[in-house]
Amino acid sequence: MSAAESSVPQIELVAERLVAGGACLAREPSGRVVLVDGALPGERVRVALTQQKKTLAKGDVFEVVEASPQRVAPPCPALAAGCGGCDLQHATHDLQRAAKAGIVADALARIGRLRDVAIDAGEYLDPWAHRTVLRCGVDADGRAGLRHRRSNDVLALDACPVAHPLVDEVLAGSHFPGAEEVTVRVGARTGERLVVVAPSAGAVQVPDGVQVVGADRLDGTDPHPGAAVHEVVARCRFRISGGSFFQSRPDGAEALVRAVRRALGTVDPATARVADLYGGVGLFTVALGVRRGVLVERAASSAADARHNLAGREVVVVADSVEAWAQDRAHAFDAVVADPARAGLGATGVAAVARTGAGRVALVSCDPAALARDARGLVDAGYRVVGVELVDLFPQTHHVEAVTAFELDGP
């Protein structure tokens, strides 16, 4: 033990359960809660405390005294070097999936005051070599990589075990002098590759066939010519521009579509009038086969892609906020699909959904607390929770994606 390590307060604890954010909750004999990074449920660990307050402390595992049978050796060498990209590689995939279901149940009960909600852990998705979008920092030598844990310092990478092989090829074969950040986006099923370089492209070096565009050329009002990749999801082809959002793996996008279809119950998207709120480039409208309705997306680049992807359908694309669209006039829809940003619908978004009068709502959430708040709001607005299905888009991390089904309770 080094002098620095010996000066850090340490305590031996038994970890209870994984919580939102990836840490494991433990308790001191006094009852104070300690959030422990690197621990797993049931383990006895020696913890080096990093933060201390009266009712809450945080710390890192210094030593595993009694290991969980679901602990595994992280296979990524970058993790041992300090990479902050993955925080659950030390847990089996089965434990990760079960823990995420427990985190959602806890949030619904504690924040949303909704207990006994049916939660399905969802379909199995390959936990390795899946990410088709990777946002990277750039080090002083012009090499791309991920940030160190709890730091803005960049750890240069030639490969990442959760990244798609096409992304790895870009990481290993590129040089970005003078850049601060790069986003690598690939079409796993088309082979197309794009790098967005911030603040500007400059004299970058990338493998043959990789498109490059500077972030300064993407002003957010419209896609830059040529700065896009295409992806195939559910046999549908999507244009995704450099400034647009899309799910980070096509098989995960397909799992999301299937979960949303199940959430809509007996509503047939091909014949129903559907509102696709926060609709992005049109994933759900296109893949569900929606023929009539509206897609609302405030990001100009995504809205422009949606118009391209929805060509030939009787679906109106509204490039505005959901709240502004909802206030414009009364809307009557059979179903709503809502996929808001991490903060969730919020009170105004809940009101917008309720204003549609839709009998069935599929809510896609990427934060358990936001899901719980939105679920409480929709219940208060007259809906009941039918169930929650998780979609494990981000294995090896604590991030949770959930599709929740709501049904209008009464007229």
pLDDT, position 190: 98
Whichever domain contains 298, its CATH number is 3.40.50.150
Last residue of a domain, one of 190, 208, 233: 233
pLDDT, position 329: 66
pLDDT, position 2: 47
> What's the domain range around 197?
133-233
Residue in 328, 324, 306, 326 with CA at minimum distance from that of residue 315: 306
pLDDT, position 222: 59
286 and 391 in a single domain? The answer is yes
Average pLDDT (352-365) is 97
Residue in 139, 128, 198 with CA at minimum distance from that of residue 167: 128
Whichever domain contains 41, its CATH number is 2.40.50.140
270 and 400 in a single domain? The answer is yes
Round to whole Å and give the CA distance between 107 and 262: 23
Six-digit token string for 382: 């007259």
253 and 376 in a single domain? The answer is yes
254 and 397 in a single domain? The answer is yes
pLDDT, position 193: 98
Round to whole Å and give the CA distance between 191 and 110: 44
Q: pLDDT category, 220, cuts 50, 70, 90? A: low
Q: Is residue 78 part of a domain?
A: no
Q: Is residue 244 part of a domain?
A: no
Round to whole Å and give the CA distance between 167 and 191: 10
Please say if the pLDDT value at position 131 is more than 60.
yes
Helices (H), 177-299: 250-263, 283-287
Between the alpha carbon of residue 32 and those of residues 35, 50, 57, 139, 238, the distances in Å are: 10, 15, 7, 40, 50
398 and 277 in a single domain? The answer is yes
SS (H, E, C) 84-117: CCCCCCCECHHHHHHHHHHHHHHHHHHCCCCCCC
Q: Which of 148-157, 214-223, 271-280 has the lowest mean pLDDT?
A: 214-223
Question: What is the Cβ-side half-sphere exposure of residue 9, based on CA atoms within 13 angstroms?
Answer: 8
Round to whole Å and give the CA distance between 388 and 160: 31
pLDDT, position 1: 45
Written as one letter, the residue type at 310 is L
What does the DSSP 8-state code read for residue 411?
Answer: -
Please say if the pLDDT value at position 6 is more than 60.
no
267 and 220 in a single domain? The answer is no
Q: Is residue 86 part of a domain?
A: no
Q: Is residue 81 part of a domain?
A: no
Please say if the pLDDT value at position 259 is more than 50.
yes
Under a CB-based contact definition with an 8 Å cutoff, are residues 331 and 374 in contact? no
Q: Is the dihedral of CA 365, 366, 372, 373 positive or negative?
A: negative
Average pLDDT (160-182) is 97
Please say if the pLDDT value at position 124 is more than 50.
yes
Please say if the pLDDT value at position 7 is more than 90.
no
Last residue of a domain, one of 209, 233, 257: 233
Q: Is residue 82 part of a domain?
A: no
pLDDT, position 225: 62
337 and 399 in a single domain? The answer is yes
264 and 389 in a single domain? The answer is yes
353 and 392 in a single domain? The answer is yes
Average pLDDT (180-193) is 98
395 and 276 in a single domain? The answer is yes
Residue predicted with more confidence, 224 or 262: 262
Strand order in the sheet with 292-296: 119-120, 383-390, 402-408, 360-365, 335-338, 273-277, 292-296, 314-318
Please say if the pLDDT value at position 330 is more than 60.
yes
Average pLDDT (142-153) is 96
Q: Is residue 83 part of a domain?
A: no
Average pLDDT value for the chain: 95
Six-digit token string for 263: 């959430």
Average pLDDT (44-61) is 96
224 and 338 in a single domain? The answer is no
Beta strands in 246-319 (DSSP E): 273-277, 292-296, 314-318
Please say if the pLDDT value at position 266 is more than 80.
yes
Residue 160 designated active-site: no
Q: Is residue 376 part of a domain?
A: yes
**Tens digits of residue pLDDT in 70-119:** 999 999 999 999 999 999 999 999 999 999 999 999 999 999 999 999 99
pLDDT, position 51: 95
Pairing mode of beta strands 24-27, 33-37? antiparallel
Under a CB-based contact definition with an 8 Å cutoff, are residues 301 and 278 in contact? no
199 and 301 in a single domain? The answer is no
Residues 6+ away with beta carbon under 8 Å from 3: none
pLDDT, position 223: 63
pLDDT, position 52: 95
The number of folded domains in the chain is 3
Round to whole Å and give the CA distance between 227 and 213: 6
Last residue of a domain, one of 233, 267, 299: 233
Round to whole Å and give the CA distance between 376 and 337: 17
DSSP string of 10-29, one letter each residue: EEEEEEEEE-TTS-EEEE-T
Please say if the pLDDT value at position 358 is more than 90.
yes
